[in-house]
Structure 1
Amino acid sequence: MDLDLALVRAFVATAEELHFGRAAQRLHTSQQALSKRVARLESLLAVRLFERAGGTRLTEAGERLLPAAREALAAGERAVAAVLGPGPVVRIDVWGHLYAPMRTVAQAVAAFGAVRLQPGPARDWPSAAELLLRGETDLGFGRVHPLGDGRDAGLAHRLVRLEPVDALVSTSHPLAGAAELRPADLRGSTLWCPAELTRLDFLRRFADEFGLTRREDGPNLGLDHLVEHVRADPSCFTLFPADAPLPDHAGLRAIPLTGPTPLYAWSLAWRESRRHPLLDLLLRGFADVGRARRWLEYAPGRDWLPDADHAKLVQVR
C-alpha cells in the first residue's frame, strides 16, 4: 500500500493536537479538509484511528501508527532535503490560537525564500517572552503588550498587522439582525472571554474603553467550545477577527464593528541580544506582504487601538 504523506501529516497533526480545529490551523487548511484526509487514511487502512465522541482521542490502532507516521514524515523531509538542501530553520512560537495566528504567518512565508519555520505552541505572550529570553525559541508572533516587573526586558518587537474584529453573536441575540454595530451598542450584552480575563489584555482593554461591565470568562477549551458557548447563549457576544476562520457558522452572525472599529495588533518579537541571522529577512518579508495586503491601515477616529498598540504603530510609520 502506498501512503500519501499529506494524509499521514493530517493524522500526525491531529494526534498531537487531539483537536481537529487546532490541527487544521496548524496545517493552514480548513477543518473539513483535514477531517476528510483523516477519514481517507482510516478508509485506506480499514481501521479507526480516532475516537471522536466526547472529545478527540487516539484508538489503539492510532497509538500504534503514530511513531511510524512520524518516522515517515521525517523520511520524506530527508528525501526533499537531499535534493534541495534543508534550508535554515527559524523557531517561531505563536499565541492567541483562537484567533488563528498562523493564517498571517502562512501568508508571509512565501516571501522568505528558503527559510523554514518551525512553529511552537506558546500559550500566551508571557510564556513566549520567557521562551525567547531563555533562548528556547527564535521568534514570537502574536499580540504583544507590556508585562511589567521587567519580565520583557531585553525583548524587541515590531507591529506587522492590524486586523479588524467583529462582534460574534448567536442568531438569537437581540442585535443579530444589525448590519453593523458600534462597540457601545453591546453594553447590554455579556462579553464572553474564552480564558481568564486577566490573561486577555485586548478584551479587558476593549471592555474598559467602551463601558462593557457585563463580563464572563471561563477556561480556554478551544475554538469549538467558544463557538458553542456563543451559539447557545443569546445574551452574550465575543470578539473575533474578521478574517479568521470559524469551524461552523450555523447559528452565528459575525457583525462588523464601526464607530470605531477595534483593531487587533499582531507583532513579531525577538530577543535583542540573540537576533537570529535571518531576522532582517523575515522582517522584510512581513513588511512586503503587509504593504501589499494593507495590513497596517489605521485612521484616527475611524479605528480604535489600545494605547500600547497605538505606540507600536507610531514606531513603524
Structure 2
Amino acid sequence: MDLDMAQVRAFVRTAEELHFGRAAGTLALSQQALSKRIARLESLLGTSLFQRGGNGVRLTDAGRLFLTPARQAMAADAAVAAVAGTDRPLRVDVWGHLYAPMRTLAQVAGRAGELVLGHGRDLPSVTAALLRGDIDAAFGRAHPPLPAGLSHRLIRLEPVDAALSADHPLAAETALRPDQLRDSVLWAPGALDRLDFLHRFADRFGIRQTATSVNLGLAHFLAEVAQEPRRFSLLPADVPRPEVPGLRSVPLVDPTPLYAWSLLRRTGNGHPGLHDLAAACAEEAGRSRWLEYDPAHD
C-alpha cells in the first residue's frame, strides 16, 4: 500500500492535537482540507481513525494502532529528504504575524535560494514543526526556554513605538518614556502570558492595567486601540500602518525597547539553503544596521 505522506502527516498532527482546527493551523491548512486528507486516508485503510463527537476528537482503537507506524513513516520520509533533498526548496516558517515578519524575510529571500513559506501559529507550534523535520528554518521572536535540539541566531533588533488613541492624554507628545504609560491600559492581541514581549514590557515598566483582544489582523487591532482614550499597544517602528482614523504612533525613548527577530533551525539539518539564508540575513543586517544596539539608550 502506497501511503500519501501528506495524509499521514495530517493524521499524526491531529492525533497529537486532538483538535482539527489546531492541527490544521500547524500545517497551514484549512480545517476542511485537513478533514479531506484524513477522510481519504481512512478510506484507503478501510477503517475510522478518529471518533468525532460533542466531547471532542478521540483516537479509535485502529487510530491508536496506526499512530506509531505513522510516526515511523514520517521519520523515514524525513530521512530520505535529508539524504536526497538537497535540491528541494528550503522550508521556512514564520510567527508573530501581527508584527509582519514577512517584511524582514522578503528583504533577504531573493539571496537565499528557493524558499517555501509556511504560516505558523506561534513559537511553540513552529518549534515543534522544526523538531519534527516538517520545516528547515523559522523566523520570528524567540524567547527561552527553547527546546533542546534547536539553534538560535539573532537577526534584527527593531525599535518599538507606542500606538495609542489620538484622544489619549499623551497623544500630543513627540516621544514618550515607557514608564509614562504606567497609568494606561496595555491592549494585547491575546493572553499576556503567551505574549512574552508585551508581558516583559508590562513587568519592566510597571504597566498594571492590561486587557486582551482577539487577533483579527493589524487593522482591526489598531482600530480597537483608537476607540479607547486610555489604551495603547506596541508596534515595531517599521511595520506599515493601515489607515486607522484616530490613531497615533509615538516613538519610545529612555530607553527604547527593541523587538528581537531571530532565525531558528534544528541542529544537524544540513540543507545548504540554511547557510545561504543565514549569510543573506547577516549581509542585510550589516547594510541596514539591523543589529545596532546602544546600551545607554536601548
TM-score of the aligned structures, taking structure 2 as reference length: 0.69
What is the one-letter code of the residue matched to 1:96?
G
Quote the Cα distance in structure 1 between the aligned partners of 2:279 and 2:151.
16
Among residues 267, 291, 295, which one is paired with 1:296 in the alignment?
291
Mapping for residues 15-26 of structure 1, pairs under 5 Å = none
1:89 counterpart residue number: 89
Corresponding residue of 2:236? 241
Amino acid aligned to 1:170 = S
Shift, 1:249, TM fit: 3.9
Distance 1:235 1:117 in 2: 43
Task: Could you tell me which runs of 5 or more consecutive residues in structure 2 were left unpaired when the two chains were aligned.
Answer: 1-86
Greater gyration radius: 2
1:39 is matched with none
TM-superposition CA deviations, 1:127-180 (whole Å, max 9, x none): 100000000111100000113xxx611000100000001000011111110000
Residue from 258, 282, 286 that aligns with 2:281: 286
Distance 2:178 2:295 in 1: 16
Distance change (3 Å), C-alpha of 1:157 and 1:275? farther
Given that 1:138 and 1:275 are in contact with CA atoms closer than 8 Å, whether structure 2 keeps it comes out as no
Q: For the residues of structure 1 that align with 2:248 and 2:89, how far apart are their CA atoms? A: 40
Q: Out of 118, 121, 142, which is 1:120 matched to? A: 118
- The alpha carbon displacement at 1:111 in A equals 2.6
Amino acid across the alignment from 2:243: D
Q: Pick one of 152, 155, 158 that aligns with 1:160.
A: 155
Contact 1:111-1:289 at 8 Å conserved across structures: no
1:218 to 199, 213, 228: 213
Alpha carbons 1:196, 1:219 under 8 Å: kept:
no
After TM superposition, the structure 1 = structure 2 runs for residues 46-65 of structure 1, keeping only pairs within 5 Å, are none
CA distance in 2 between counterparts of 1:119 and 1:231 reads 33
SS at match of 2:107: helix
How much has 1:198 moved relative to structure 2? Answer: 1.1
Report the counterpart of residue 179 of structure 2 in structure 1: 184
Q: What SS does the corresponding residue of 1:269 show, helix, strand or coil?
A: strand
2:265 counterpart residue number:
270
* 8 Å Cα contact 1:191-1:214 kept in structure 2: yes
* Contact kept in structure 1, 2:99 and 2:236, CA below 8 Å: yes
- 1:257 CA displacement: 0.1
Q: 1:130 aligns with which of 124, 128, 131?
A: 128
Residue 105 (structure 2) aligns with: 105
Q: TM-score, normalised by structure 1?
A: 0.65
How far apart in 2 are the matches of 1:275 and 1:255?
Answer: 44
What is the RMSD of the two structures over their aligned residues, measured on CA atoms? Answer: 1.2
User: Once the 2 structures are TM-superposed, how far is the Cα of residue 301 of structure 1 from its aligned partner?
Assistant: 2.1
Number of matched pairs: 212
Per-residue deviation, residues 47-75 of structure 1 (Å, max 9, x unmatched): xxxxxxxxxxxxxxxxxxxxxxxxxxxxx
Structure 1 segments (4+ residues) deviating >6 Å: none
**Matched letter for residue 236 of structure 2:** P
Report deviation, 1:278: 1.7
Instruction: Output the amino acid matched with 1:155.
Output: L
Q: Distance in 2 between matches of 1:301 and 1:209?
A: 16
Percent of residue pairs identical = 52
Report which stretch shifted further, 228-237 or 213-222: 213-222
Cα distance in 1, alignment partners of residues 189 and 149 from structure 2: 30
C-alpha displacement of 1:88: 4.5
Instruction: Determine the C-alpha separation between the residues in 1 that align with 2:270 and 2:224.
Output: 42
